Structure 1
Protein backbone atom coordinates (compact mmCIF):
# COMPACT_ATOMS: atom_id res chain seq x y z
CA UNK A 1 0.00 0.00 0.00
CA UNK A 2 1.32 3.42 -0.96
CA UNK A 3 1.71 5.78 1.98
CA UNK A 4 2.11 9.55 2.32
CA UNK A 5 5.74 10.62 2.46
CA UNK A 6 5.24 11.74 6.05
CA UNK A 7 4.99 8.07 7.07
CA UNK A 8 8.73 7.99 6.35
CA UNK A 9 9.86 11.56 7.02
CA UNK A 10 8.23 11.65 10.46
CA UNK A 11 10.48 8.87 11.76
CA UNK A 12 14.08 9.43 12.92
CA UNK A 13 15.76 7.31 10.24
CA UNK A 14 19.50 7.69 9.67
CA UNK A 15 18.93 8.04 5.92
CA UNK A 16 17.63 11.59 6.46
CA UNK A 17 21.14 12.87 7.21
CA UNK A 18 22.62 11.07 4.21
CA UNK A 19 20.17 11.65 1.35
CA UNK A 20 19.70 15.40 1.79
CA UNK A 21 19.99 16.13 -1.95
CA UNK A 22 17.78 13.23 -3.08
CA UNK A 23 14.04 13.41 -3.77
CA UNK A 24 11.79 11.11 -1.78
CA UNK A 25 9.83 9.54 -4.62
CA UNK A 26 7.37 7.37 -2.70
CA UNK A 27 6.79 5.29 0.43
CA UNK A 28 5.15 1.87 0.68
CA UNK A 29 3.82 -0.26 3.53
CA UNK A 30 5.02 -3.82 2.91
CA UNK A 31 2.75 -6.85 3.53
CA UNK A 32 5.21 -8.35 6.00
CA UNK A 33 3.58 -8.44 9.44
CA UNK A 34 5.76 -9.83 12.19
CA UNK A 35 7.45 -9.36 15.51
CA UNK A 36 10.19 -7.02 16.69
CA UNK A 37 13.03 -9.33 15.60
CA UNK A 38 11.85 -10.17 12.07
CA UNK A 39 13.58 -7.36 10.20
CA UNK A 40 16.54 -9.55 9.07
CA UNK A 41 14.02 -11.85 7.35
CA UNK A 42 12.69 -8.92 5.33
CA UNK A 43 16.17 -7.76 4.34
CA UNK A 44 17.17 -11.28 3.36
CA UNK A 45 14.10 -11.72 1.20
CA UNK A 46 14.58 -8.43 -0.61
CA UNK A 47 18.27 -8.91 -1.41
CA UNK A 48 17.51 -12.39 -2.78
CA UNK A 49 14.86 -11.01 -5.16
CA UNK A 50 14.90 -10.89 -8.95
CA UNK A 51 12.71 -8.88 -11.33
CA UNK A 52 12.24 -12.05 -13.40
CA UNK A 53 10.32 -13.63 -10.49
CA UNK A 54 7.37 -11.24 -10.59
CA UNK A 55 4.12 -13.16 -11.21
CA UNK A 56 2.88 -10.53 -13.69
CA UNK A 57 3.71 -11.26 -17.33
CA UNK A 58 3.24 -7.58 -18.12
CA UNK A 59 5.68 -6.55 -15.40
CA UNK A 60 8.21 -9.17 -16.55
CA UNK A 61 7.89 -7.85 -20.10
CA UNK A 62 8.41 -4.27 -18.93
CA UNK A 63 11.53 -5.25 -16.99
CA UNK A 64 12.86 -7.16 -19.99
CA UNK A 65 12.28 -4.12 -22.20
CA UNK A 66 13.99 -1.86 -19.67
CA UNK A 67 17.11 -4.03 -19.48
CA UNK A 68 17.19 -4.40 -23.28
CA UNK A 69 16.81 -0.67 -23.93
CA UNK A 70 19.36 0.07 -21.21
CA UNK A 71 21.82 -2.26 -22.85
CA UNK A 72 21.34 -0.77 -26.31
CA UNK A 73 21.57 2.84 -25.12
CA UNK A 74 24.34 2.23 -22.61
CA UNK A 75 22.26 3.29 -19.60
CA UNK A 76 23.71 0.54 -17.43
CA UNK A 77 27.31 0.51 -18.65
CA UNK A 78 29.95 0.18 -15.90
CA UNK A 79 31.03 3.81 -16.31
CA UNK A 80 27.50 5.03 -15.44
CA UNK A 81 27.24 3.44 -11.99
CA UNK A 82 28.27 3.92 -8.38
CA UNK A 83 31.93 4.80 -8.03
CA UNK A 84 32.19 5.98 -11.64
CA UNK A 85 29.47 8.42 -12.72
CA UNK A 86 28.59 9.16 -9.09
CA UNK A 87 30.55 8.61 -5.85
CA UNK A 88 29.16 6.03 -3.46
CA UNK A 89 27.02 7.34 -0.64
CA UNK A 90 29.10 5.30 1.79
CA UNK A 91 31.49 8.27 1.69
CA UNK A 92 28.76 10.30 3.42
CA UNK A 93 28.02 7.84 6.20
CA UNK A 94 28.65 8.86 9.80
CA UNK A 95 31.56 6.99 11.35
CA UNK A 96 29.42 4.49 13.27
CA UNK A 97 27.60 3.39 10.11
CA UNK A 98 30.72 3.42 7.95
CA UNK A 99 32.56 1.15 10.38
CA UNK A 100 29.65 -1.29 10.72
CA UNK A 101 28.75 -4.04 8.21
CA UNK A 102 27.00 -2.60 5.15
CA UNK A 103 24.52 -5.46 4.99
CA UNK A 104 24.04 -8.46 2.69
CA UNK A 105 24.92 -8.33 -0.99
CA UNK A 106 22.16 -8.53 -3.59
CA UNK A 107 21.94 -11.78 -5.50
CA UNK A 108 20.74 -10.35 -8.83
CA UNK A 109 19.42 -6.81 -8.52
CA UNK A 110 22.01 -4.10 -9.32
CA UNK A 111 22.00 -2.51 -5.85
CA UNK A 112 24.97 -1.96 -3.55
CA UNK A 113 24.31 -2.09 0.22
CA UNK A 114 25.05 1.08 2.18
CA UNK A 115 24.30 0.31 5.82
CA UNK A 116 22.31 -1.98 8.07
CA UNK A 117 20.99 -1.33 11.58
CA UNK A 118 18.45 -3.13 13.77
CA UNK A 119 15.57 -1.46 11.92
CA UNK A 120 17.02 0.15 8.78
CA UNK A 121 18.68 -1.06 5.59
CA UNK A 122 19.70 1.18 2.69
CA UNK A 123 21.14 0.32 -0.70
CA UNK A 124 22.05 2.46 -3.71
CA UNK A 125 21.89 2.08 -7.47
CA UNK A 126 23.15 4.33 -10.26
CA UNK A 127 23.01 4.35 -14.04
CA UNK A 128 22.86 6.96 -16.76
CA UNK A 129 19.32 8.03 -15.77
CA UNK A 130 19.33 8.25 -11.96
CA UNK A 131 21.14 7.72 -8.70
CA UNK A 132 18.67 5.98 -6.42
CA UNK A 133 18.30 4.64 -2.89
CA UNK A 134 16.07 1.87 -1.62
CA UNK A 135 15.42 2.23 2.11
CA UNK A 136 13.83 -0.56 4.12
CA UNK A 137 12.66 -0.09 7.68
CA UNK A 138 10.83 -2.01 10.39
CA UNK A 139 8.04 -0.01 12.00
CA UNK A 140 5.50 -0.73 14.74
CA UNK A 141 1.87 -1.13 13.72
CA UNK A 142 -0.65 1.51 14.75
CA UNK A 143 -2.20 -1.02 17.13
CA UNK A 144 1.12 -1.45 18.93
CA UNK A 145 0.98 -5.26 18.88
CA UNK A 146 3.23 -5.97 15.91
CA UNK A 147 5.57 -4.66 13.24
CA UNK A 148 5.76 -4.52 9.46
CA UNK A 149 8.17 -3.46 6.77
CA UNK A 150 8.20 -0.12 5.04
CA UNK A 151 10.04 0.84 1.85
CA UNK A 152 11.05 4.31 0.73
CA UNK A 153 12.46 5.14 -2.70
CA UNK A 154 14.79 8.10 -3.18
CA UNK A 155 16.02 9.38 -6.54
CA UNK A 156 18.37 11.96 -7.92
CA UNK A 157 17.61 12.19 -11.66
CA UNK A 158 20.56 12.71 -13.99
CA UNK A 159 19.57 15.91 -15.79
CA UNK A 160 16.84 16.06 -18.41
CA UNK A 161 17.21 12.40 -19.35
CA UNK A 162 16.69 11.34 -15.76
CA UNK A 163 13.64 13.54 -15.22
CA UNK A 164 12.04 12.34 -18.46
CA UNK A 165 12.79 8.75 -17.54
CA UNK A 166 11.21 9.05 -14.08
CA UNK A 167 8.14 10.79 -15.50
CA UNK A 168 7.73 8.04 -18.10
CA UNK A 169 8.03 5.09 -15.72
CA UNK A 170 6.02 6.42 -12.77
CA UNK A 171 2.59 5.22 -14.00
CA UNK A 172 4.02 1.77 -14.76
CA UNK A 173 5.77 1.54 -11.38
CA UNK A 174 2.58 2.30 -9.47
CA UNK A 175 0.07 0.37 -11.58
CA UNK A 176 2.01 -2.54 -13.10
CA UNK A 177 5.28 -3.17 -11.25
CA UNK A 178 4.58 -2.69 -7.54
CA UNK A 179 1.21 -4.49 -7.10
CA UNK A 180 2.43 -7.95 -8.26
CA UNK A 181 5.71 -7.41 -6.43
CA UNK A 182 3.78 -6.81 -3.22
CA UNK A 183 1.64 -9.91 -3.77
CA UNK A 184 4.73 -12.06 -4.28
CA UNK A 185 6.39 -10.56 -1.20
CA UNK A 186 3.28 -11.28 0.89
CA UNK A 187 3.07 -14.87 -0.36
CA UNK A 188 6.71 -15.60 0.39
CA UNK A 189 6.54 -13.85 3.74
CA UNK A 190 3.69 -16.07 4.86
CA UNK A 191 5.71 -19.13 3.84
CA UNK A 192 9.05 -18.12 5.32
CA UNK A 193 8.42 -15.85 8.34
CA UNK A 194 7.63 -18.11 11.30
CA UNK A 195 6.14 -15.36 13.44
CA UNK A 196 4.22 -13.53 10.72
CA UNK A 197 0.63 -12.68 11.42
CA UNK A 198 -2.04 -13.52 8.89
CA UNK A 199 -2.71 -10.06 7.53
CA UNK A 200 -0.77 -7.01 6.44
CA UNK A 201 -1.09 -3.61 8.11
CA UNK A 202 -4.27 -1.75 7.23
Structure 2
Protein backbone atom coordinates (compact mmCIF):
# COMPACT_ATOMS: atom_id res chain seq x y z
CA UNK A 1 0.00 0.00 0.00
CA UNK A 2 1.31 3.43 -0.93
CA UNK A 3 1.85 5.75 2.03
CA UNK A 4 2.10 9.54 2.32
CA UNK A 5 5.57 11.05 2.21
CA UNK A 6 5.27 11.95 5.91
CA UNK A 7 5.33 8.23 6.79
CA UNK A 8 9.01 8.41 5.86
CA UNK A 9 9.96 12.01 6.63
CA UNK A 10 8.44 11.97 10.13
CA UNK A 11 10.34 8.82 11.18
CA UNK A 12 13.75 9.19 12.85
CA UNK A 13 15.70 7.51 10.03
CA UNK A 14 19.45 8.09 9.78
CA UNK A 15 19.08 8.60 6.02
CA UNK A 16 17.73 12.10 6.75
CA UNK A 17 21.18 13.24 7.92
CA UNK A 18 22.95 11.45 5.05
CA UNK A 19 20.78 12.60 2.13
CA UNK A 20 18.98 15.82 3.10
CA UNK A 21 19.16 17.06 -0.51
CA UNK A 22 17.21 14.06 -1.86
CA UNK A 23 13.42 14.19 -2.17
CA UNK A 24 11.17 11.35 -1.15
CA UNK A 25 9.64 9.99 -4.35
CA UNK A 26 7.64 7.03 -3.05
CA UNK A 27 6.82 5.32 0.26
CA UNK A 28 5.20 1.88 0.46
CA UNK A 29 4.02 -0.30 3.34
CA UNK A 30 4.98 -3.96 3.00
CA UNK A 31 2.84 -6.85 4.21
CA UNK A 32 5.78 -8.47 5.99
CA UNK A 33 4.77 -9.04 9.62
CA UNK A 34 7.62 -10.12 11.85
CA UNK A 35 9.60 -9.60 14.99
CA UNK A 36 11.98 -6.83 15.99
CA UNK A 37 15.06 -8.54 14.49
CA UNK A 38 13.65 -9.47 11.06
CA UNK A 39 15.04 -6.63 8.94
CA UNK A 40 17.76 -8.88 7.44
CA UNK A 41 15.00 -11.31 6.40
CA UNK A 42 13.20 -8.43 4.65
CA UNK A 43 16.38 -7.52 2.77
CA UNK A 44 16.70 -11.16 1.68
CA UNK A 45 13.05 -11.20 0.55
CA UNK A 46 13.58 -7.98 -1.39
CA UNK A 47 16.46 -9.33 -3.44
CA UNK A 48 15.93 -13.12 -3.48
CA UNK A 49 13.59 -12.92 -6.47
CA UNK A 50 14.47 -12.33 -10.06
CA UNK A 51 12.61 -9.08 -10.66
CA UNK A 52 11.35 -8.40 -13.27
CA UNK A 53 11.48 -12.04 -14.45
CA UNK A 54 8.88 -13.02 -11.84
CA UNK A 55 6.63 -10.03 -12.65
CA UNK A 56 3.60 -9.97 -14.97
CA UNK A 57 4.32 -9.73 -18.74
CA UNK A 58 3.42 -6.03 -18.95
CA UNK A 59 5.99 -5.17 -16.26
CA UNK A 60 8.65 -7.30 -17.98
CA UNK A 61 7.87 -5.47 -21.24
CA UNK A 62 8.17 -2.06 -19.58
CA UNK A 63 11.45 -3.08 -17.94
CA UNK A 64 12.86 -4.31 -21.26
CA UNK A 65 11.74 -1.11 -23.00
CA UNK A 66 13.48 0.99 -20.34
CA UNK A 67 16.69 -1.01 -20.77
CA UNK A 68 16.59 -0.57 -24.58
CA UNK A 69 15.86 3.17 -24.33
CA UNK A 70 18.56 3.61 -21.69
CA UNK A 71 21.10 1.77 -23.86
CA UNK A 72 20.17 3.75 -26.97
CA UNK A 73 20.39 7.10 -25.16
CA UNK A 74 23.42 6.20 -23.04
CA UNK A 75 21.63 6.72 -19.71
CA UNK A 76 23.24 3.78 -17.89
CA UNK A 77 26.90 4.01 -18.85
CA UNK A 78 29.41 3.43 -16.03
CA UNK A 79 30.77 6.96 -16.41
CA UNK A 80 27.33 8.31 -15.46
CA UNK A 81 27.12 6.27 -12.25
CA UNK A 82 28.39 6.36 -8.68
CA UNK A 83 31.90 7.67 -8.28
CA UNK A 84 31.87 9.09 -11.80
CA UNK A 85 28.99 11.50 -12.43
CA UNK A 86 28.10 11.69 -8.74
CA UNK A 87 30.03 10.85 -5.58
CA UNK A 88 28.70 8.00 -3.50
CA UNK A 89 26.76 8.90 -0.39
CA UNK A 90 29.28 6.69 1.42
CA UNK A 91 31.48 9.81 1.54
CA UNK A 92 28.82 11.52 3.72
CA UNK A 93 28.35 8.72 6.23
CA UNK A 94 29.10 9.44 9.88
CA UNK A 95 31.72 7.17 11.44
CA UNK A 96 29.18 4.85 13.11
CA UNK A 97 27.57 3.98 9.73
CA UNK A 98 30.75 3.34 7.74
CA UNK A 99 30.81 -0.45 8.26
CA UNK A 100 29.59 -1.99 4.98
CA UNK A 101 26.23 -3.75 5.48
CA UNK A 102 26.01 -7.50 5.18
CA UNK A 103 23.55 -9.23 2.94
CA UNK A 104 23.08 -9.07 -0.80
CA UNK A 105 24.91 -6.89 -3.31
CA UNK A 106 21.95 -6.14 -5.60
CA UNK A 107 23.10 -4.54 -8.85
CA UNK A 108 22.42 -1.86 -9.98
CA UNK A 109 22.23 -0.81 -6.32
CA UNK A 110 25.28 -0.51 -4.09
CA UNK A 111 24.63 -1.18 -0.38
CA UNK A 112 25.33 1.91 1.72
CA UNK A 113 24.65 1.13 5.39
CA UNK A 114 22.52 -0.92 7.75
CA UNK A 115 21.26 -0.38 11.29
CA UNK A 116 18.85 -2.48 13.34
CA UNK A 117 15.90 -0.82 11.59
CA UNK A 118 17.30 0.54 8.27
CA UNK A 119 18.97 -0.97 5.21
CA UNK A 120 20.00 1.51 2.53
CA UNK A 121 21.45 1.24 -0.98
CA UNK A 122 22.09 3.74 -3.78
CA UNK A 123 22.37 3.84 -7.55
CA UNK A 124 23.01 6.53 -10.14
CA UNK A 125 22.72 6.95 -13.87
CA UNK A 126 22.37 9.88 -16.24
CA UNK A 127 18.82 10.63 -15.07
CA UNK A 128 18.99 10.39 -11.26
CA UNK A 129 20.93 9.54 -8.13
CA UNK A 130 18.53 7.31 -6.17
CA UNK A 131 18.37 5.77 -2.71
CA UNK A 132 16.44 2.62 -1.80
CA UNK A 133 15.52 2.69 1.89
CA UNK A 134 14.10 -0.36 3.65
CA UNK A 135 12.81 0.40 7.12
CA UNK A 136 11.59 -1.90 9.87
CA UNK A 137 8.82 -0.32 11.95
CA UNK A 138 6.53 -1.29 14.85
CA UNK A 139 3.11 -2.28 13.48
CA UNK A 140 1.06 -1.10 16.48
CA UNK A 141 0.10 -4.67 17.46
CA UNK A 142 3.35 -5.71 19.14
CA UNK A 143 5.08 -6.78 15.93
CA UNK A 144 7.05 -5.11 13.16
CA UNK A 145 6.69 -4.72 9.41
CA UNK A 146 8.59 -3.32 6.47
CA UNK A 147 8.48 -0.03 4.64
CA UNK A 148 10.16 0.83 1.38
CA UNK A 149 11.00 4.38 0.39
CA UNK A 150 12.69 5.67 -2.75
CA UNK A 151 14.54 8.97 -2.52
CA UNK A 152 15.89 10.74 -5.59
CA UNK A 153 18.01 13.63 -6.72
CA UNK A 154 17.17 14.12 -10.40
CA UNK A 155 19.93 15.13 -12.80
CA UNK A 156 18.65 18.44 -14.14
CA UNK A 157 15.68 18.80 -16.44
CA UNK A 158 16.29 15.38 -18.01
CA UNK A 159 16.04 13.68 -14.63
CA UNK A 160 12.98 15.65 -13.54
CA UNK A 161 11.19 14.93 -16.84
CA UNK A 162 12.16 11.25 -16.62
CA UNK A 163 10.78 10.87 -13.09
CA UNK A 164 7.53 12.59 -14.08
CA UNK A 165 7.16 10.43 -17.20
CA UNK A 166 7.64 7.11 -15.40
CA UNK A 167 5.55 7.93 -12.30
CA UNK A 168 2.29 6.38 -13.55
CA UNK A 169 4.08 3.17 -14.60
CA UNK A 170 5.90 2.93 -11.26
CA UNK A 171 2.76 3.46 -9.19
CA UNK A 172 0.31 1.36 -11.18
CA UNK A 173 2.46 -1.50 -12.45
CA UNK A 174 6.09 -1.75 -11.38
CA UNK A 175 5.95 -1.20 -7.60
CA UNK A 176 2.80 -3.28 -7.06
CA UNK A 177 4.43 -6.22 -8.90
CA UNK A 178 7.70 -5.78 -6.98
CA UNK A 179 5.90 -5.63 -3.63
CA UNK A 180 3.76 -8.70 -4.39
CA UNK A 181 6.98 -10.61 -5.08
CA UNK A 182 8.55 -9.48 -1.80
CA UNK A 183 5.41 -10.37 0.15
CA UNK A 184 5.12 -13.77 -1.59
CA UNK A 185 8.73 -14.63 -0.70
CA UNK A 186 8.14 -13.41 2.86
CA UNK A 187 5.27 -15.89 3.28
CA UNK A 188 7.15 -18.89 1.83
CA UNK A 189 7.39 -21.48 4.61
CA UNK A 190 10.81 -22.64 3.43
CA UNK A 191 12.21 -19.11 3.38
CA UNK A 192 15.90 -19.06 4.21
CA UNK A 193 16.93 -17.57 7.52
CA UNK A 194 18.48 -14.15 7.06
CA UNK A 195 22.18 -14.07 6.22
CA UNK A 196 24.03 -11.92 8.73
Asked if the contact 1:31/1:148 (under 8 Å) is kept, the reply is: yes
1:160 is paired with a residue whose SS is helix
Q: Which segments of 5 or more consecutive residues in structure 1 lack a partner in the other structure?
A: 196-202
Deviations 1:12-70 (A, max 9, x none): 11000011111111111011111111111011222334333333110111001111111
Q: Which segments of 5 or more consecutive residues in structure 2 lack a partner in the other structure?
A: none
Whether 1:103 aligns to 2:106 is no
Provide the residue aligned with 2:30 in structure 1: 30
5 Å matches for 1:20-169?
20-98=20-98, 100-107=99-106, 109-143=107-141, 145-169=142-166
Q: Name which of structure 1's ranges 117-126 and 178-187 shifts more when overlaid on structure 2.
A: 178-187
- Could you list the runs of 4 or more consecutive aligned residues of structure 1 that deviate by over 6 angstroms after TM superposition? none
1:181 is paired with a residue whose SS is helix
Deviations 1:158-194 (A, max 9, x none): 0111011000000000001111222121111100558
CA distance in 2, matches of 1:182, 1:72: 29
CA distance in 2, matches of 1:40, 1:102: 10
CA distance in 1, matches of 2:26, 2:121: 16
1:11 is paired with a residue whose SS is coil
Asked if the contact 2:121/2:131 (under 8 Å) is kept, the reply is: yes
Distance 1:66-1:137 versus aligned 2 partners, 3 A rule: same
Taking structure 2 as the reference length, what is the TM-score of the superposition?
A: 0.92
* Residues matched between the structures, number: 192
CA distance in 1, matches of 2:131, 2:177: 21
Asked if the contact 1:103/1:121 (under 8 Å) is kept, the reply is: no
Deviations 1:136-175 (A, max 9, x none): 01000022x2110001110000011101100000000000
CA distance in 2, matches of 1:80, 1:135: 22
RMSD across aligned positions (CA): 1.6
Distance 1:43-1:194 versus aligned 2 partners, 3 A rule: closer
2:52 is paired with a residue whose SS is helix
1:52 is paired with a residue whose SS is coil
